[in-house]
Chains A and B, each alone.
Chain A
Amino acid sequence: MTKQIHLAAHFPGVNNTTVWSDPAAGSHIEFDSFARFAQTAERGKFDFMFLAEGLRLREQNGLIYDLDVVGRPDTFTILAALAAVTDYLGLTGTINSTFNEPYEVARQFASLDHLSGGRAAWNVVTSWDAFTGENFRRAGYLAQDERYERARTFLRTATQLWDSWQGDEIIADKRDGQFLTTPTPGAFQHKDAFFDIEGQFNVPRSPQGRPVIFQAGDSDDGRDFAASSADAIFTGHATLEAGQAFYADVKGRLLKYGRTPDQLLILPAATFVLGDTDAEAADFAHEVRRAQVSPQTALRFIEQLWNTELPGFDVDGPLPDFDPVVSDNLISKGRASVRQFAKNPVERANEWRDRAADGKLSAREVVIEVTGRQSFVGSAGTVATEINERVQGDAADGYILVPHITPDGLAPFVDKVVPLLQERGVFRADYTGTTLRDHLGLAPLGRPDEADGRHERAARAAS
């Protein structure tokens, strides 16, 4: 059976994928940029737009990192405003389960779902660092092995709050003067190792019942969390081979939680560069990578891997001839990718040196090669074919595309690639439903007290 492709748009983030130095690059904070981006995605009949989040500005060498886009809006607030300028587009926000409380997050997502007519989604992430905690009352630090337990528990608690209203409590009978059918709507009680709360949830059940749940982790724990509790998973595995392995692994885990493969969508993040011909696109892709890795950015990346300051280092020369500083104390803070570097920096440095030797590459050129490779490069026809092949080949159910230019970098994809996918019958010609669950092909949730309970039982089984 031919699968239908799901497409989403990730608003360009605060990392070097985003090329702010391009003359076409607009504001990263004014509402007009977000509105144009969202409206472009909706013009392309995308499933949803996606926002990342970070609750502390990144630092390197004890200084605020200044080479990438810095600054972003509050996720909930911008998504609620975007609901005013779009009609169908799903609105997916990344919200941290460490520096928030279930009652507040649940009411904000329920509110967003009401205010958008059923288009809200939550990408559940956990944070781990005392660095970010310095901005919050609760502050604190979460050990690595407690992160998913906290996230799982947080999500279970929030779900309990969303399910505390069945959906028929409000009758608003003017004549009899009965607004509610029950004196205790939204009653809940929850106690576990992380949360001990009780009372009444104050937002009535929202159009989708609860937001669509995204999960972004890649570890074994993260995959189990997604298989047990998420509706969609946001991954980094955009290539065919890595995508197929990940896809088979995660979909294979669903059975043990009593779920079927169509209940969890796998949506890798992906970049793209289009040209009139494949050759032109390849040239342009190289240009974009050079713009993404300025000499200053290359130096900071090398410092991140070597975990030390390298004053006076020439990025047009060879990589450092000494090994990285192996330490739990990283010079880069607030950046998830650095933890990948930190896993085995010496081995990785050797890989980089091998790349340099093979291609006779300078330090900066190595960084360009290892960090910047775009997922889809080619003419519109080539990119449409590749995306479709990967989806039909079970490397993904669709892609979350992040353009490198804000806010108009998505437009070429929408104008050139989307029509080809529509012609081939693998992407919707128009929206057929109104909620994000509709777009994603997820069945509506029933009343909490009548639902088959599979999801909830699965979540409990996973805990």
Chain B
Amino acid sequence: MRALPFVEGRVAVLDRPDVDTDQIIPKQFLKRIERSGYGRFLFYDWMKDESFELRRPQAQGASILLAGRNFGCGSSREHAAWALEDYGFRAVLAPSFGDIFRSNAVKSGLAPVAVSADELARVRAAVEEQNELVVDLERLELRHPSGLCVPFELDAYDQETLVHGLDDIARTLAREHEIAAYEKAHPARFDTRTLA
């Protein structure tokens, strides 16, 4: 995964609450067995509507999505994060996220940045004046050329994963001795391979 110390770019605004992952990527695209190429299916049904927020001129070329509360709720499909990333987004700003989506985003090189609704409104006002923003994942702040600076929180594990583009599995496998010790102390109670 690519290292993502910061994101600098244009912001697209999708101010709707509870955008679910079924909207981000509808089910007919989940039959593919590849991990790439989902960007062209992003918001597939909503994109058919000419007035859809992401089709507006100011949203073109955006690498940051400013979204509403509970963004990415619903289905666990990681394809939603893959589609946003493949489309060109590197960060999503929202008051809150669906728990599974947030976790998937981090593993897909897409920074989920939780910012309060009030602060998000200030960021939105600023980018409506001048569409530029920096999402600094090392210093954990949003910066706008107007001088607006909004700090945000990200847990240390996710921050490290994103900033350095770490392979989560390799990190865990490095703890082999701990896992082996746990397994030794907790023998399996069944074996799925021998079930009648």
* B is bound to A: no
A-contacting residues of B (Cβ < 8 Å)?
A: none
B-contacting residues of A (Cβ < 8 Å)?
A: none
